[in-house]
Structure 1
Amino acid sequence: MQELKVDLFTDTVCPWCLIGAARLDRAIAALPKDVVVDVENHPFYLDPETPAEGHVVADMLREKYGREPREMWDRVEGEARASGIDLDLSRQPRSYPTAKGHTLVRLARVKGTQHALANAIIWAYFMEHRQINDDEVLADIAVRFGYAREEALQVMADPDALGETHDLAVAAARQGIRGVPFFVFNRRYALSGCYPQDAFDRVLRQVLADADAA
């Protein structure tokens, strides 16, 4: 049996993270059955200045880049379709703070549902157009991945748990991660950004080959 560790830094309001995680999961599913892959999700803030009520994504993009959002959305949506995801970014107009969702994901590590929960939250945001800053919405998702509802609500109200998540997200940026998705394989190899599907297939094969050689 071979073991492979993937550390995955994402934010749940990042469309490239939706696509990148899907491509990673597809590459993992194509590995031989004797390969065990441990994906650990880590928090990152795409925009740490997002206000509590969120902001309108299209307005933010116009202000930041001086371009119409559709120009940028077309590329993302095209890449999503290439991965079988029918993404329409115009249907989720607002971006929200993500500390609560990240905290649920972080603490789901011991439940063995962490990566699946992270995927479910980002899917709910982009594909179901849900408000993932809402405690009730997040609790609805969390109960499908090992949480009792009251437990999930308590986690999201815990300042210490939220503070630890915030510190980890800030630390990731200070360590040099400037954008997500960001992937680290076996603590030796890194990919920054959303690569084509075959790139994920190649890097997993290379990491496993190097592990064998070592």
Structure 2
Amino acid sequence: MSTPLKIDFISDVSCPWCVIGLRALDQALEYLGDDVDAQIHFQPFELNPNMPPEGQDLNEHIFQKYGSTPEQSRANREQIRERGAELGFVFKEGDRRIYNTFDAHRLLHWAELEGKQHALKDALFAAYFSQHADPSSHRVLADTAQKVGLDRTRAEAILASDEYANEVRELEQLWVQRGVSSVPTIVFNDQYAVSGGQPVDVFVGAIRQVLDEQAKLVHPAR
């Protein structure tokens, strides 16, 4: 019998390690098969909440934020590309910009209500990292929503308004208050957290541990 597992995946659509973490988590769940009945909820986190509409050149941004040299930045991106390729994801080479992602999070909030949050998250990652599209562009967001079977007209109406803005801000604050300061952070059953773009086997081990703990609570040793 499958054991229910609640997974909160706290991330940003402009975070490459979040792509790697999600791909590895999905593969871990696939490996565990019928042992787990997982429900993934994507929770909002903005790496750059004050990013202006025009965005910023990636190299410039990384130097300003982390002090990384262009060489360090290139080496890091190469590592990310290799990890992505191992997991079947293409990180396209070339210059890129960092953008504000608040509207993407609003759309993801709506997509969960429509049962298409995971599909939209995957498609937004592909749009940004594989196609270098602008995830703050309402046209790009509406195109991406339509691509995964969401209603384009409804998506455009949400983007043109401030619908779900309060809900997203409240969730962002909630996870910061719970101690999340970097992404991805993956929380299992509101209790156990794994941080970073971990390999598949790390997620398999963590999930098995959570399931074992859960089994002990349900059937404590007499």
Q: TM-score, normalised by structure 1?
A: 0.92
Report the CA distance between 1:75 and its aligned residue: 2.4
- 1:80 aligned onto 2:84: yes
The runs of 4+ residues in structure 1 deviating greater than 3 Å are none
Cα distance, 1:13–1:176 mapped onto 2, change above 3 Å:
same
Deviation at 1:160, TM superposition (A): 4.1
Aligned counterpart, 2:31: 30
For 1:67, the equivalent position in structure 2 comes to 69
SS at match of 2:118: helix
The structural deviation recorded for 1:121 is: 0.6
Please give the residue correspondences for 1:89-168 in structure 2 after superposition, counting only pairs within 5 Å.
Answer: 90-91=93-94, 93-168=96-171
* Bigger radius of gyration: 2
Match for residue 58 of structure 1? 59
Q: CA deviation at 1:77?
A: 2.0
Superimposed CA distance per residue, residues 109-155 of structure 1 (whole angstroms, 9 cap, x where no aligned partner): 12211122111111111012211111111111112334211100111
1:185 to 1:92, Cα distance in 2 relative to 1, 3 A: farther
Structure 1 match to 2:50 = 49
Note the alpha carbon deviations across 1:3-29, whole angstroms, 9 max, x for none.
Answer: 111000010000001111000011111
Q: Which runs of 5+ in 1 are unaligned?
A: none
Residue 12 of structure 2 is aligned to residue 11 of structure 1: yes
Once residues 92 and 105 of structure 1 are traced to their aligned partners in structure 2, the CA distance between those partners, rounded to angstroms, is 26
Contact preservation (8 Å) 1:99, 1:166: no
TM-score by structure 2 length? Answer: 0.89
Secondary structure of the 1:191 match is strand
CA RMSD in angstroms comes to 1.7
CA distance in 2, matches of 1:132, 1:108: 15
Deviates more, 1:132-141 or 1:76-85: 76-85
User: Offset at 1:57?
Assistant: 0.8
One-letter identity of the residue aligned with 1:67: T
Contact 1:111 1:146 in 2 (8 A): no
1:169 Cα deviation from its structure 2 partner: 2.0
Shift, 1:72, TM fit: 2.3
- Structure 2 vs 1, CA of residues 204 and 92 (structure 1 numbering), >3 Å: closer, same or farther? farther
Q: Distance in 1 between matches of 2:140 and 2:200?
A: 31
Q: Give the Cα separation in 1 of the matches to 2:103 and 2:83.
A: 28
Greater CA deviation, 199-208 or 172-181? 172-181
Contact 2:11–2:43 (8 Å) recurs in 1: yes
Partner of 1:208: 211
CA distance in structure 1 between the aligned counterparts of 2:212 and 2:106, rounded to whole angstroms: 34
The aligned amino acid for 2:20 is I
Moved more, 165-174 or 194-203: 165-174
Retained in 2: the 8 A contact 1:18–1:123? no
Unaligned 5+ runs, structure 2:
218-222
User: How many pairs were matched up?
Assistant: 213
